Amino acid sequence: MSRPAQRGMSGRAKAALALIALMALVPPLAALAGDPFLTVVASRMAVFAIAALSLDLILGFGALVSFGHAAYLGLGAYAVAVCARHGITDLFVQIAAGAAASALFALVSGAISLRTRGIYFIMITLAFGQMAYFFFVSLSAYGGDDGTTLAARSTVFGRPLLENDTVFFYVVLACLATAFGLLHRLAGSRFGRALAGTRESELRMQAIGFRPFRYRLAAYVISGMICSVAGVLLANQTEYVSPAYMAWTRSGELIVMLLLGGIGTLAGAMAGALATVALEELLAGWSEHWRLGFGLILLGVVLWSPAGLTGLIRRLLPEEGR
C-alpha cells in the first residue's frame, strides 16, 4: 500500500510549514533592512492566510462556493469592537465571542443555504453576507457605514502585549500555524474523508450510509469560526473596524486568493493569500490602477496553471508529487 498519509507528512504539508517558517524570519529581516513596515505587511498576509485557509475547508474540500465568507471576518472584527466598548479587552474572550457569533450565524445561514446547490448556493451565501453587511452599516452605535476606531489593541492576560508590532506578528503567525494544523488534521480524519466524499459524489455517499448535509453544515460552521479569528486579528492590526471588512468584494477576494494559490490544498490557500497581499502592496505602489495588473496576473494563473501556484510549483518539482 503506497499511501501518502502513512509515508509521513505530505509534500504539501511540508510546503505549508516551510512557508510559515519563512514568515517567522520576516521581523529580524525587516529590522536588518530597517523597514519595520515589512512586519506590518507580513501580519496582514498571515491574517488573510487564516481567512483563506478557512474558506478552503468548504470551497476546496467541500466544493461549496461560498460568496459570503467575509461576513465572518466582519463578525470577528466587530466582536473586538463590541467587547472593547463594554470594557472587555482580553484577546481570548474576544476570540471566543467572535467564534460563538460566527458559529451561530453559520449554523442558521448554512442550514438554509446548504439545501441548495451551484449558483443558488452562491447567491444565498451572498445574500446572507449582504444581510450581515447592512446590519452593521445600520448599527449607528458603532459608526454605521464609517465604522469605529479602536482605542487600543486587545490585551493578553491583562497586558498590552499586542501594541508591539513584532509581538503582534508572532501572535498572528501562531494563530495561522494553529489553524493550519487543525485543518490539516481535519482533512485527513474520518470527517475530512466523508467531506471529500460529499464533494465527489453525493449520491454515492447516501448509498454507503452518509447524510451529506450534516457533514457540509459542520464544515461550514467550523470554517466560519476559524475565519472569525482572522477577523479579530484584522481589527487589531488596523485598530479600526468597519462594515467594509464584510463587503461582498472582500468575499470575492478570498475566493481569488484560493484560485491564485490552488484550491483544496491548504498550502495553496496560504500561498494565495500571501501572494495577493504582496501583489496588492507592490502594484499599489506603482499605480492606483493596480487592480488591472492584478487581474492580468490572475488571468494568467487561471489559464496556464489551473491548480494555482501550488500546481505550478508541483509541475516544476515533479519529484515532490503530493
In the complex, which residues of this chain contact another protein (CB under 8 A)? 1-6, 185-186, 188-194, 196-197, 200-201, 203-211, 215, 218
- For the bound state, the minimum distance from the C-beta of residue 58 to another protein, rounded and expressed in Å, comes to 15
In the bound state with another protein, the residue whose beta carbon lies nearer, of 4 and 144, is: 4
- For the bound state, the minimum distance from the C-beta of residue 46 to another protein, rounded and expressed in Å, comes to 23
Local structure of 283: helix, strand or coil: helix
CB atoms under 10 Å from CB of 88, counted, come to 15
Contact 74, 243 (CB under 8 A): yes
- Rounded to whole angstroms, what are the CA distances from 157 to 15, 229, 260? 33, 18, 38
Residue 12 CA to residue 17 CA, distance in Å, equals: 9
In the bound state with another protein, the residue whose beta carbon lies nearer, of 3 and 86, is: 3
Q: Is 156 exposed, middle or buried (0-12, 13-18, 19+ CB in 10 A)?
A: middle
Task: Give the type of residue at 226.
Answer: I
In the bound state with another protein, the residue whose beta carbon lies nearer, of 64 and 205, is: 205
- For the bound state, the minimum distance from the C-beta of residue 212 to another protein, rounded and expressed in Å, comes to 10
In the bound state with another protein, the residue whose beta carbon lies nearer, of 121 and 215, is: 215
Residue 32 CA to residue 17 CA, distance in Å, equals: 24
Residue 205 CA to residue 33 CA, distance in Å, equals: 54
Residue 188 CA to residue 196 CA, distance in Å, equals: 10
Task: Give the type of residue at 64.
Answer: L
- For the bound state, the minimum distance from the C-beta of residue 10 to another protein, rounded and expressed in Å, comes to 11
- For the bound state, the minimum distance from the C-beta of residue 177 to another protein, rounded and expressed in Å, comes to 16
In the bound state with another protein, the residue whose beta carbon lies nearer, of 14 and 185, is: 185
- Lookup result for grid cell 485557509: 53
- For the bound state, the minimum distance from the C-beta of residue 100 to another protein, rounded and expressed in Å, comes to 19
- Rounded to whole angstroms, what are the CA distances from 18 to 31, 216, 267, 269, 277? 21, 30, 10, 14, 19
In the bound state with another protein, the residue whose beta carbon lies nearer, of 192 and 231, is: 192
Local structure of 263: helix, strand or coil: coil
In the bound state with another protein, the residue whose beta carbon lies nearer, of 138 and 178, is: 178
Q: What angle do CA 62, 16, 78 make, to 5 degrees?
A: 65
Residue 50 CA to residue 45 CA, distance in Å, equals: 9
- For the bound state, the minimum distance from the C-beta of residue 88 to another protein, rounded and expressed in Å, comes to 29
Residue 34 CA to residue 30 CA, distance in Å, equals: 6
- For the bound state, the minimum distance from the C-beta of residue 271 to another protein, rounded and expressed in Å, comes to 21
In the bound state with another protein, the residue whose beta carbon lies nearer, of 188 and 293, is: 188
